[in-house]
Copies of this chain bind each other. A is one copy, B any other.
Amino acid sequence: MKAIEVFAEKGYHETTVDEIADNLNVAKGTIYYHYKNKKQLYLALINEGFATLKGRVFEIVEGSGNAEEKLKRLIQVQVDFFQEYSNITFIFLREFYGNVINRHELTAILNEYLDLIAGILNEGQENGQFRPLETEVTTFMIFGAVAVSTLNYLHQPAGLTPELFLKNVIEGIFYGIKGVERQK
């Protein structure tokens, strides 16, 4: 079991450095040899995890296609990531609403990511594909909707296939619970 998974399973405060050391098969002192303290270890692990997500999303942003296509792919990547690295997602949401001490560092990490989403939204509004909503609000709605629904899906799949789940999420974000495609 990797260190990040231990943290994810039990939370920062309920995970001891002893447990981390046990899972890593190293002595406790070794951890302090590599990291200044428990918190720095924790932040390093989170950063590492999110770097992966940012990397994948960055490829999409820089890649080909219009805003709509990019956003679809981004949602898919995000859903996949939240499933694959559910432990990091847990940690992130938890800490984002968590103690004031870490918020600053974590907000910085998250904002870098959300800026990528915001960029796509702006691009889509400029070329008329998306409706003129406040990017700041929409970005967080998308992030919240995808994260919370995915984590719930992981907990209690409710009989849906992954494909059907993804389709529902995308449709919800693109057309809401009520809207339809514009008449061309």
Contacts and interface: CB of A to CB of B under 8 A. Distances in A.
A169 interface: yes
Contact of A145 (B141, B160, B179): B141
Given A94-B94, A97-B93, A175 B175 contact: yes
- How many protomers of this protein does the assembly include? 4
A71 B141 CA distance: 17
Interface of A: 9-14, 68, 71, 90-91, 93-94, 97-101, 121, 124, 129-131, 133-134, 136-138, 140-149, 151-153, 158, 160, 164-165, 168-169, 171-183
Given A144-B147, A145-B144, A148-B141, A172 B133 contact: yes
A14 to B, nearest CB: 5
A12 B14 CA distance: 11
Contacts of A181: 178-180
Nearest to A102: B11
Contacts of A133: 168, 171-172, 177
A138 B178 contact: no
A145 B124 CA distance: 20
